[in-house]
Structure 1
Amino acid sequence: MTQPLLSIENLSIAFSQQGEKRTVVHDLSLRVHPGETLALVGESGSGKSVSALSVLRLLPSPPVSYPQGDIFYHGQSLLHADERTLRGVRGNKIAMIFQEPMVSLNPLHTLEKQLYEVLSLHRGMRREAARGEILDCLERTGIRHAAKRLGDFPHQLSGGERQRVMIAMALLTRPELLIADEPTTALDVSVQAQILQLLRELRNELNMSLLFITHNLSIVRKLADSVAVMQNGRCVEQNRADALLSAPAHPYTRQLLASEPSGDPVPLLPGSEPLLRVDKLSVAFPVRRGVLRRVVDRHQVVKQIGFSLRPGETLGLVGESGSGKSTTGLALLRLIASEGSILFDGKPLHAMNRRELLPMRHRMQVVFQDPNSSLNPRLNVLQIIEEGLRVHRPALSAAEREAEVIRVMQEVGLDPESRQRYPAAFSGGQRQRIAIARALILKPELIVLDEPTSSLDRTVQAQILALLKALQEKYRLAYIFISHDLQVVRTLCHQVMVLRQGEIVEQGECQRVFTAPEHAYTRQLLALS
């Protein structure tokens, strides 16, 4: 066995807050050898990301401290290294892909400027030489028409496309060790497979090592050589990937393996009239060029979509990032401009102006993919959840609004005693429950769920899916469920619509599509899942 490239020895990590010290990682020991992929698996809050950020000393000190242990890279201590040494390691030798690309990418700079900055800083490349390498890396990570996208800003990309840019940014430096914190969370299965293949190729080409943080055990099976399982800040099990996945020793590991999505959708009541009818829905975005940003073209994102949805029914929207799934959801809620017919309970939403739509808003709600972005960090949970009541039920008193918040928090499995706390004090799964409570408090009939479980670990994901099913059965809620996780779609959805580049390539009853897909693209998605 070769000497480890990275060695974490008996590491403990503590946070100091208001004079109290709380240890969040206890006595952690991990080793990553040259060319090896180690997967770090566990629930949100188990200490995975904190441990990874500590490798490059990216956590502020104080409040973070290391009561015991050390981290060695090529035998050299990183915890005791000076800032100059760390600057030579960060990016050049050890690169990191962060979990939230919208936080990591600069919203004011184009993709080309941000990617060129990496090559200029770490490899001293000039712009002319850098452009070709940037385009090659973007195309290898699955960005279509890369040359046309270099002038785009992060907000013009889908969530999956932003994640691919982050991956390209890390790979441009050709590091010895790549730390990837949930890098495929926002990616559909086809791009996920492409990224995993790219990581394998680079690992072989550069003898690159990989510390891969994930909650997706199917990725662990495809990529990892070794696995370490963390729970409550402790490593409860380590082994070779094949041995651990086939014969887990610890009860918690067995629980993770048993948390894969399963079960059937909520039974439908017969004879229901459609709540939502959509016909020839199309969305086009203006393409602007020049100093004056004049509109020179229109980019068709969604093309001629049609379906109907009954109370208590779930329609799954499936497809690659950028295929028009989220755009369709926003158009249905009239949050962006569209063409075509949208009938909600027989009323023509497409013909209503903003004032006419307002009384309809409480009947249609949305839960976004990333609760970190959709929850206001300056409001506490009570203020976040009651916000809709202030708009749509202004006659309620403060006490009545608070009573409604307590009721809905109990319904989604949140402790009402925590209603004065702010979003930062909650885990990812708890924040998603807050987002669901905010949508539910207005007693809607339709909820658009945009990747609501993609950033959650499997155990929390199973809890959220069970919650969505229970709420649907109790209130006969209709869901538009946007996802790239086909296992989740299968367990929740009655219908499925497969989108590719804004067009429907296949739609129908979910079980039929999954067992006997007619289109080659659908078969490809199923084969990769």
Structure 2
Amino acid sequence: MTAPLLRIDQLSVAFRQAGQLHQVVNEVSLQVDAGETLALVGESGSGKSVTALSVLRLLPEPPACYPGGEIYYRDQPLLRAPEKILRQIRGNKIAMIFQEPMVSLNPLHTLEKQLYEVLSLHRGMRKEAARGEILDCLDRVGIHNARQRLADYPHQLSGGERQRVMIAMALLTRPELLIADEPTTALDVAVQAQILRLLAELKQELNMGLLFITHNLNLVKRLADNVAVMRQGRCIEHNSCAQLFSAPQHPWTRKLIAAEPTGEPNPLPAGTPPLLEVADLQVRFAVRRGLLKRIQGYHYGLRQLSFTLRPGESLGLVGESGSGKSTTGLALLRLIPSLGKMTFDGMPISDWGRKQMLPVRPRIQVVFQDPNSSLNPRLDVLQIIEEGLRVHQPALSAAQREARVISAMNEVGLDPQTRHRYPAEFSGGQRQRIAIARALILEPQLIILDEPTSSLDRSVQAQILQLLKSLQRTHRLAYIFISHDLQVVRSLCHQVVVLRKGEVVEQGECARVFAAPQAEYTRRLLNPL
């Protein structure tokens, strides 16, 4: 019998901190064969990514160490292999798609330079031959106008587009084993389906093994042959995909499978006047060319969006990556220039400058997609949550600010005793609660939520949705909810706007649009396969 591509045998991983050893992975055993997909699922902090990073020895040593077990690529042990052997395997034989593309892509280099570097290092290709393969791979992962985008830098791409570039970068090496750590988190369902088809094609074409880490169980059903469930550093269940979903053995697995976003949005208060009125909102970016970088035209990130939002109401913005969802959020926050009319609580804020907007800022808050990036790692939780009070209510004493922080933490389900800890000491779900508490402490009327649940596992996602609904009922908050997860939008939102390439494709009551979509693009989002 041939050896499996990857065999993890009784692996234990620990981190040494302050002279003590903290074990985060305990005696995990997994196996991936050529042409097989093993899905690794579990809640945030369960040890999935630590296990994956250990395969290529990408954890910093120290503080990471391996008290027990071994990892084999074919018959080659990896945990104690010399660096020369690991360099031959990394990228060439085993490639990895990382979860956070903004950390993984070099902000100072163009896409072409970064993608060519992969082919040059791992396949020895010259630039002329590499360009065609790069364009083909970008096209296969769904980057539109790939030839024009080669000169772009990472900040010029949407979150989903950056993730697609990371996928292309890993696939260019044609690896025998691909480790994909949440590769579709930032992608809409249509692009998710496209990426899954691409991975399936490459598996067949290259007989490639795939270790697929995700919290999206719908993707697991469609892609995986076998599934391993992790919790608190241990593998609690390992079975074929069909068997695990039809008859899960462990109580936690059953709970995880049952954690689908469900329910209806909160009932709307009757007869309330509009809080936010938007008419013909447009965002355009100047296209500059030539030596003097003169304006040659404009690229529209958003065209003619109009809606009305009342207190206690939620509006969902959905669409593929790069469709203008986050651009809309930034325009509504008055953080980027825009055209059109915006009226907030009776005030025409469209043309207001920075000073005029300052008194309105506390009333319009935002929760960003990635709490890792939006929370300052050098500040403790108390300092993070009270920061808005320091700016907008400077007359409050330190004791008054702390009392408000404790109240906000209680409201979002965080233990106030942890207020002197730092973000790194919390799970992903807890960090998102910190971000919500930071927005809530200023008592806003409108919160813009930019993909607030996309990086969370399903059990934590359900908790955050229930929290958002509860806060909306209590404070009559209005939400603008940006998401590519249509189940989440259906559960929370009263209205929905479907965007594509900056254009409004369809708009209306959420229940009606989801039950009887009029546009072909909307139907494709609802049924991507």
> Secondary structure of the residue that 2:205 maps to in structure 1?
helix
- Deviates most, 286-295 or 108-117: 286-295
Task: Name the residue aligned to 1:239.
Answer: 239
Task: Name the residue aligned to 1:354.
Answer: 354
- Give the drift of 1:291: 5.0
Task: Name the residue aligned to 1:338.
Answer: 338
Measure, in 2, the Cα distance between the counterparts of 1:31 and 1:515. 42
Measure, in 1, the Cα distance between the counterparts of 2:428 and 2:388. 22
Measure, in 1, the Cα distance between the counterparts of 2:185 and 2:502. 22
Task: Name the residue aligned to 1:42.
Answer: 42
Does 2:161 match 1:161?
A: yes
> Secondary structure of the residue that 2:366 maps to in structure 1?
strand
Maintained 8 Å contact 1:225/1:241: yes
Task: Name the residue aligned to 2:510.
Answer: 510
Task: Name the residue aligned to 2:283.
Answer: 283
Structure 1: where are the runs of 5+ without partners?
none
- Give the drift of 1:265: 0.5
- Deviates most, 444-453 or 282-291: 282-291
Which amino acid in structure 2 is aligned with residue 398 of structure 1?
Answer: A
- Give the drift of 1:290: 4.2
Measure, in 1, the Cα distance between the counterparts of 2:351 and 2:71. 62
* Number of residue pairs the alignment of both structures matches: 529
Maintained 8 Å contact 1:119/1:173: yes
Measure, in 1, the Cα distance between the counterparts of 2:350 and 2:423. 35
Maintained 8 Å contact 1:2/1:33: no
Task: Name the residue aligned to 1:474.
Answer: 474
Which amino acid in structure 1 is aligned with residue 151 of structure 2?
Answer: G
> Secondary structure of the residue that 1:184 maps to in structure 2?
coil
> Secondary structure of the residue that 1:329 maps to in structure 2?
helix
CA shift digits 1:222-258 (9 cap, x unpaired): 0000000000000000000011011101000000001
Does 2:396 match 1:396?
A: yes
- Give the drift of 1:508: 0.7
TM-score (norm 2): 0.99
Measure, in 2, the Cα distance between the counterparts of 1:383 and 1:123. 49
- Give the drift of 1:293: 3.9
- Deviates most, 377-386 or 116-125: 377-386
- Give the drift of 1:26: 0.6
Task: Name the residue aligned to 2:143.
Answer: 143
- Give the drift of 1:325: 0.5
> Secondary structure of the residue that 1:21 maps to in structure 2?
strand
- Give the drift of 1:287: 2.0
Task: Name the residue aligned to 1:129.
Answer: 129
Measure, in 1, the Cα distance between the counterparts of 2:432 and 2:293. 37
- Give the drift of 1:2: 5.0
CA shift digits 1:474-511 (9 cap, x unpaired): 00000000000000000000011111111111111111
Task: Name the residue aligned to 1:252.
Answer: 252
Measure, in 1, the Cα distance between the counterparts of 2:388 and 2:119. 46
CA shift digits 1:50-109 (9 cap, x unpaired): 000000000111111111110011111011210000000000000000000000000111
- Deviates most, 482-491 or 371-380: 371-380
Measure, in 1, the Cα distance between the counterparts of 2:512 and 2:356. 39
Maintained 8 Å contact 1:318/1:499: yes
Does 2:74 match 1:77?
A: no
Does 2:25 match 1:3?
A: no
- Give the drift of 1:273: 1.1
Does 2:349 match 1:312?
A: no
TM-score (norm 1): 0.99
Measure, in 2, the Cα distance between the counterparts of 1:294 and 1:195. 38
> Secondary structure of the residue that 2:242 maps to in structure 1?
helix
**What percent of counterpart residues are identical?**
73
- Give the drift of 1:351: 2.1
- Give the drift of 1:169: 0.3
Task: Name the residue aligned to 2:297.
Answer: 297
Which amino acid in structure 2 is aligned with residue 428 of structure 1?
Answer: G
Measure, in 2, the Cα distance between the counterparts of 1:50 and 1:234. 12
CA shift digits 1:288-316 (9 cap, x unpaired): 33455443321111000000001000000
Does 2:173 match 1:195?
A: no
Measure, in 1, the Cα distance between the counterparts of 2:243 and 2:406. 46
- Give the drift of 1:435: 0.6
- Give the drift of 1:415: 1.2
Measure, in 2, the Cα distance between the counterparts of 1:282 and 1:425. 41
Task: Name the residue aligned to 1:526.
Answer: 526
Task: Name the residue aligned to 1:90.
Answer: 90
Measure, in 1, the Cα distance between the counterparts of 2:368 and 2:293. 30
Structure 2: where are the runs of 5+ without partners?
none
> Secondary structure of the residue that 1:362 maps to in structure 2?
helix
Measure, in 2, the Cα distance between the counterparts of 1:520 and 1:281. 24
Maintained 8 Å contact 1:216/1:457: yes
- Give the drift of 1:41: 0.3
Task: Name the residue aligned to 1:56.
Answer: 56
Which amino acid in structure 2 is aligned with residue 302 of structure 1?
Answer: L
Maintained 8 Å contact 1:39/1:212: yes
Task: Name the residue aligned to 1:100.
Answer: 100
> Secondary structure of the residue that 1:129 maps to in structure 2?
helix
Distance 1:495 1:393, change over 3 A: same
